[in-house]
Structure 1
Amino acid sequence: MTTNYKERLIAAAIVGALSVTSAQAQTPDSVNSRIGNLQFEQGFPTEETTQKVFDEIDYQRAVQAYLWAYPAVSFEAIRIGTKRDLGADLIDMVIADNYADPKGRWLTANDTTIYAYTNVDLGKSGPIVVENPPGAIAGIIDDFWQRSLADVGIPGPDAGKGGKFLLLPPGYKGDVPQTGYFILQGTMNNYNVMIRGIVLNNDKDAAVENVKRVKVYPLSESSNPKPNKFVSMSGKVMDTTPPMGMAFWELLSAFINNNPVQERDLFYMAMLKPLGIEKGKEFKPDARQKAILEEAAQMGDAMGRVMLFEGPDRFHRVGEGLGVEPFPGSKWHWVFQVNPVQKTDTYGQIDERLHYTYGAIYTTPALGVMKAAPGGNYVQAFKDKDGNRLDGGKSYRLHVPANPPAEQFWSLTLYDTATRSMIQNAPNDSARFSQDKLNTNADGSIDLYFGPAGSAPAGSEANWIETVPGKGFYPMFRFYGPKAGLFDGTWKLPDIELVK
């Protein structure tokens, strides 16, 4: 080894040592941050800095916990609102026997389907049976995280022929019937069973009658089940949307205390503990915790709104080679960016889940199918053809080309941007669908119109939906029983155009 080479090695070692010393010496005694100046004395945080940092940690975690908790609080809000506004308890069936309508606040419900639903609590009832009749029914069983456990009816394992589904509580050790049931192993106590009666040949009464044949009862009563109490939600004023402020956290605490903690959620439970939300404990936040939680709920709600209306540009349908646009170059987006289990092989879909559950409810493999199949797929738009937001004080036209790719039917519903529920207008009617008596063009296409009172084009009143000046709105177009044309580019829904 030459002398010059040894000298270079020694010099490099000295430079390295000086670099380490320099890096260590750069640890600052003062840090300017978004929460103010943070002071450290001899490396130790001052008392003021400690309080600022812990408050910031808890605030940041509270905001993220709000986003994580949204689907569960949304379903808990449905359970609470159902009992408060309709007097319907667990296992009681709520039915939209004259369709849902804008008087009730529901995240993107529509008034073209016969809905029925019930809430169950396996911790109180034990195993639950969902007995589904044959016929045009498409149902969903979701846990309160809005993860799909099973489809029921046409898209389910019974394939529309009817069948019995047995929902077992988490950790259930009792006897399980070996035949006659589709067995479903639950992972939590709270589930929501939702049934959609498909209206065929414009026969609403037949759809209602079929839905009323659905039975939900404890397995312990299977030899002689009690008839379900059916409560109408049609025309009723009710609110099932997630609450704001401290009420949000109160519902979350109640939900956590009634269900097993999922392994995937342990870190979030750790984030909530310093904020007074802890499994097995009553929620009694102090003044500091309340202030942080109130602010975090405001920020979380703002993030939810941004994620709903701008989120699709942040993600795409992973693994399917599909972007967020169903019709490339248009302003329409697929509604279902999240999958029914809310995760991929490499990450949990927290943004996609928030995008969907802030604006809607229920997930299922039958919704968001990307091929011709039973079930459905939906698209929504938040801007018109020119890239401007949709304004309830202006008039618009949507040209629907002939032969929309829907085996059963299609529908178009307008939603209020503030409530994500059907727009509340004087006619109490926010939707049109293919079984309405609509004016049709010579080529089979249909022109739909949206605008404030008095703006309906002469002769096209049946195709018009009244909007509300001063409020934003957005449309959702549903395809029930989607056909190949929705996915292969042979059919395209044009953008909404401003009528000048």
Structure 2
Amino acid sequence: MAFAKTPEGLLTKDEYDTCLGKLKFHDGLPDGDTIQKVYDNLDRSRATSVFLDMIPLASVEALRTGFVEVGCDACHKVVLFEKLMDSHSLFLTGNTDTVYVASILTLGTDGPTVIEVPGGAGPGTVNDAFFRFVNDMGGPGPDKGAGGKYLIVAPGYEGKLPEGYHVFHSPTYTNFVVNRGFLKDGRPDSAAANWKAGLKIYPLARAGNPPKMEFINVSGKVMNTIHSNDFHFFKEVDDVIQREPIEFLDPELRGRLKAIGIEKGKPFAPDERMTRLLKEGVAIGNATARAMCFAPRGACRMYSEDSEWLTFYAGWDYQWLEQGARNLDARTRYFYLATLNTPAMVLKMVGVGSQYALLARDGKHQYLDGGKCYSLTLPPNVPAKDFWSVVIYDAQHRSMLQTEQVSPGRNSVRHPDIKPNSDGSVTIWFAPSAPEGKEGNWIQTIPEKTWFMLLRVYGPTEAWFDKSWRPGEVQEEPEMSRKRKGAP
């Protein structure tokens, strides 16, 4: 009787050398030590995957808890950066250039919720509990900047909806609402007054007698809105899973959560072994996210391969889709650095909105060192119809660098003391203390602390999009560094 010969590639060898150590088999059957190793590795790797996948979700949850801690515990209570944001607060790459006003919707409690946006307001957006886009308001939204009434509806709602609203259905009960107002003559007063006079948020059920708006001025106040990077991250995720409808995540994502003990309707109570593996998994996940942010692979460079300027949106799609496939690394990278998701941030809108570029290394491809002196030259005719800004951030918490300057940036309309060069270019200086004669162009850094920067252009012109204009690379100025230290 003839039998088919087993191809070599189908056979399991008796022993393999791997990163897990030796894996041993007896005629294809794993021994006890191998079984333990591979299950530990599986649970650890799933923990890492959950961390990378759930950064958007944990980030919204951190915003929600941060808002509640400053009194923003109902939809009609909103945080307002009346005098702009500064480094007292921890917000992922927040800026010092626009007047933020934001709130958290709790559709599960309030039901359909109304957002009345005043005319002349800046762009606004609603995102769900996974930082997925729900709708735009203001200029990018259906009101086109004229103002209007929006109605955000909870998942599963079957009641009758009234006429006269821009209606959007959210997949989650929790939603993050943020609007921006632009500076006028370099000041935030006009935008803040516009929000106070015209923004209204209230449950539809109370439309006949809406609660009075409460604007909580958080300029200069200490608050934290950033998710954890340790074991507590999984508790943040579990809180969201327990609160939201089960369908808001697809079965694949829910399956990975369940595999590490996070499941709707059940307590998250990992045993000693699983806790150890979760801690290892989140440590690896955190390291991976940081590599993606500051040493990214793929199409993240704004210009040539030798330039350190990076884009936020690899692939230039707000859903991170490339030929029908989601670029998971690009999504993780974005939400580890930033908040808010809207198509308006990637659309080519000449003269409208804002565009961004990130830089974390100097012209010699070294991380930026807070103890050194650097310069950045912006060539003449920065492609910004409205204004441009440079803001620097702490690489640890990805929020503004906390220095004596409080607002660690330079803005072409807020800082009239910025001095251009003779050719019309502008050089910005970065150092722990101001180089002599450069005070108006100086942003303070901290010795022994790394940092990165964002260049923003508001009202980007064609030269930004066709890349006929590009910023210089950051250059270390060793002579300035020696003078600052008093070296001969």
Give the TM-score normalised by the residue count of structure 1: 0.90
Per the TM alignment, residue 407 of structure 1 is displaced from its structure 2 partner at its CA by 2.1
Find out whether 1:331 has 2:315 as its counterpart.
no
CA distance in 2, matches of 1:204, 1:448: 23
The corresponding residue for 1:123 is 108
The corresponding residue for 1:388 is 366
Q: For this pair of structures, how many residues does the alignment match?
A: 473
Q: Partner letter of residue 330 of structure 2?
A: E
Which runs of no fewer than 5 residues in structure 1 stay unpaired? Answer: 1-13, 317-323
Preserved contact between residue 416 and residue 422 of structure 1 (Cα < 8 Å)? yes
Per the TM alignment, residue 117 of structure 1 is displaced from its structure 2 partner at its CA by 0.7
CA distance in 2, matches of 1:108, 1:225: 34
Preserved contact between residue 195 and residue 211 of structure 1 (Cα < 8 Å)? no
CA distance in 1, matches of 2:286, 2:369: 22
The corresponding residue for 1:80 is 65
What SS is found at the alignment partner of 1:314?
Answer: coil
The corresponding residue for 1:11 is none
Preserved contact between residue 113 and residue 199 of structure 1 (Cα < 8 Å)? yes
The corresponding residue for 1:499 is 477
The corresponding residue for 1:282 is 267
Give the stretch that moved more between structures: 343-352 or 112-121: 343-352
From 437, 444, 452, the equivalent of 2:424 is 444
What SS is found at the alignment partner of 1:366?
Answer: helix
With over 3 angstroms needed to count, the CA separation of the structure-2 counterparts of 1:96 and 1:23, relative to structure 1, is: closer
Find out whether 1:426 has 2:410 as its counterpart.
no
For the aligned residue pairs, the C-alpha RMSD in angstroms reads: 2.1
Preserved contact between residue 146 and residue 362 of structure 1 (Cα < 8 Å)? yes
Find out whether 1:30 has 2:15 as its counterpart.
yes
Q: Please list the CA deviations of residues 379-427 of structure 1 after superposition, one character each: whole Å capped at 9, or x if unmatched.
A: 0112112222211111111112222112222111001111111111122
Per the TM alignment, residue 264 of structure 1 is displaced from its structure 2 partner at its CA by 6.0
Q: How does 1:367-382 map onto structure 2 within 5 Å?
A: 367-382=345-360
CA distance in 2, matches of 1:336, 1:104: 25
Larger C-alpha radius of gyration, 1 or 2?
1
The corresponding residue for 1:490 is 468
Q: Partner letter of residue 357 of structure 2?
A: V
Per the TM alignment, residue 314 of structure 1 is displaced from its structure 2 partner at its CA by 1.8
CA distance in 2, matches of 1:165, 1:284: 41
Give the stretch that moved more between structures: 32-41 or 404-413: 32-41
Q: How does 1:168-247 map onto structure 2 within 5 Å?
A: 168-178=153-163, 180-212=164-196, 213-247=198-232
With over 3 angstroms needed to count, the CA separation of the structure-2 counterparts of 1:51 and 1:406, relative to structure 1, is: same
The corresponding residue for 2:486 is none
With over 3 angstroms needed to count, the CA separation of the structure-2 counterparts of 1:434 and 1:369, relative to structure 1, is: farther
Find out whether 1:258 has 2:235 as its counterpart.
no
CA distance in 1, matches of 2:147, 2:304: 36
What SS is found at the alignment partner of 2:344?
Answer: coil
Preserved contact between residue 172 and residue 248 of structure 2 (Cα < 8 Å)? no
The sequence identity of aligned pairs, in percent, is: 35
What SS is found at the alignment partner of 1:332?
Answer: coil
Per the TM alignment, residue 120 of structure 1 is displaced from its structure 2 partner at its CA by 1.0
Which runs of no fewer than 5 residues in structure 2 stay unpaired? Answer: 479-488
CA distance in 2, matches of 1:133, 1:412: 29
Give the stretch that moved more between structures: 365-374 or 415-424: 365-374
Per the TM alignment, residue 277 of structure 1 is displaced from its structure 2 partner at its CA by 0.5
CA distance in 2, matches of 1:279, 1:460: 57
Per the TM alignment, residue 109 of structure 1 is displaced from its structure 2 partner at its CA by 0.6
Give the TM-score normalised by the residue count of structure 2: 0.92
Preserved contact between residue 113 and residue 151 of structure 2 (Cα < 8 Å)? yes
Preserved contact between residue 92 and residue 338 of structure 2 (Cα < 8 Å)? yes
CA distance in 2, matches of 1:264, 1:347: 17
What SS is found at the alignment partner of 1:268?
Answer: helix
Preserved contact between residue 93 and residue 400 of structure 2 (Cα < 8 Å)? yes
The corresponding residue for 2:483 is none
CA distance in 2, matches of 1:284, 1:432: 48
What SS is found at the alignment partner of 1:79?
Answer: helix
Per the TM alignment, residue 348 of structure 1 is displaced from its structure 2 partner at its CA by 1.6
The corresponding residue for 1:465 is 443
From 251, 273, 278, the equivalent of 1:293 is 278
CA distance in 1, matches of 2:365, 2:259: 44
